[in-house]
Amino acid sequence: MPIHRALTPCATDGRCTVHQVVVDVASRTKQLVLSVALLAGAVAIATLLYLNRPPTEIAEPEYKPISIDVAEVVRETLRIPVQAQGTVSPLRESSLLSEVTGRVIEVSPNFNVGGFVSADEILLRIDPRDYETNLLRAQAAVESAESNLVQEKGRAEVALREWQKLPAGSQRSDEARDLYLRKPQLEQAEAQLLAAQADLDTARDNLERTVIRAPYDALIRAKHSDLGQFVAPGSPIADVFSVAVAEVRLPIPQGRLDYLELPGLGDAGQGAPIDLYTDVAGEVKHWTAHLQRTEGVFDERSRVLYAVARIEDPYALQHPGREPLRIGSFVNANIQGREIEDVVTLPRHVLRAGNQVWVVDEGMQLRNRQVSMLRTGGDLLYVVSGLDNGDLVSLTTLDSSFDGSRVSIHSRTPSNQLNRREQTPAQGAELGDATAAVDAAADGADG
């Protein structure tokens, strides 16, 4: 019989018997054997893996060049447009006032706000009866003065004959002679006739002033009188403005004046063409204008010079198929600049901090190149120095960590073709007003 069967369990007082001690020793021995077996298996597997390891090979790192798009520099002669913005205003604007007193008895069907009227078209009539009466009185006064003058001329002729019959010694001073011949009376009659004729002209003019006419082809901006209203001299009738020609004041920063062919001081005429455009119902509309003059003084706050563009027939009355350009419209303007030689055109996004661009050198590596450029807004950059014909400028945006990196060229485009592709008639529309404002402010600071 085994020993552990002869042993008794632990007593109730907590003390173990010989049987329990033997069981614990057997359990620990079993765990030890299992641990040794696992450890031996792990060592065997590790040894097997080490012995069957692949041979060590040292390989050079493989470097792939960065694929970029480049622009090949082509210097050219360009007319750089200058962008500006302004509000359309009329060339002529008038406030019509009454010159006579009376009640409005007739108005034109076109006498409405927004109505078009032709030159000399009757807008309204004021009651003319009092002025017709004054005209009749003035005509009667003229006839009376003419009759008085005829009588005085007859009296003077009779006096002359009597004077000639007097003895030579009876003739006295020249003053007495003039008085005897009724010369003062004759001059008074002539003066009375002139005064009567002047009153007649005034009465006729006042009668004509009872008819209010349009001073030119105009649009009625506002009206202040209407049928049945009593007006007095100086009473406002209407506000009108000319529709034959409109103007736009365009602010030109001081730093961009050299890009334009501006009229000289005091000169006015048809200058550089200007493309005006604005958004009308979601569609960009264009109008052709011409630089007419400059205002000749710089604005003290913004340091800009205002150029004035002129638009013929803004309401398209003579060209019914054209879109009207209404007074008060806010428009963008592309002003054609003067010719500038040896200019390189690039997209503005290639410019990096410090006026630098990425240039690909002969070893197909990226290098920083500092350039000088003209100060303009828009999506295009105009470089005047720092690049030569044939240089390759990266069109792909990369940060400064790529300096010296090897590159491969994915596509190559001449810079002058980039100019034609990216410069559209509505280039300034996408430009951002913020960019234009920043450039204008910078130019103003330089001034």
Q: How many residues does the chain have?
A: 447
Residue 35 phi, psi (nearest 5): -65, -45
Residue 399 phi, psi (nearest 5): -85, 180
Residue 271 pLDDT: 77
Residue 18 pLDDT: 57
Q: From CA 73, how far away is CA 394, in angstroms rounded?
A: 11
Q: C-alpha angle with apex 303: 300 to 305, nearest 5 degrees?
A: 100
Residue 102 pLDDT: 95
Residue 279 phi, psi (nearest 5): -90, 120
Residue 32 pLDDT: 83
CA 194 to chain centre: 58
Residue 268 pLDDT: 62
Contacts with 76 (C-beta within 8 Å, 6 or more apart), sequence order: 342, 343, 344, 345, 416, 419
Residue 5 pLDDT: 43
Mean pLDDT, contiguous 10-residue spans, the chain (447 residues): 44 53 74 83 83 75 84 88 91 94 94 94 95 94 91 82 70 69 84 93 95 95 94 95 94 86 68 88 90 88 91 91 91 89 89 90 90 80 89 89 87 81 42 39 39
| 307 C-beta neighbours (distance < 10 Å), count | 27
Query: Could you read off the pLDDT of 420-438 as tens digits, one per residue?
Result: 544 443 343 333 343 343 3
User: Which pTM was predicted?
Assistant: 0.65
Residue 420 pLDDT: 59
CB contact at 8 A, 17 and 7: yes
Residue 110 pLDDT: 92
Query: Could you read off the pLDDT of 136-177 as tens digits, one per residue?
Result: 999 999 999 999 888 888 888 877 777 777 766 665 666 777
Which amino acid type is present at position 385?
A: S
Residue 228 pLDDT: 93
Residue 248 pLDDT: 96
304 forms beta bridges with 253
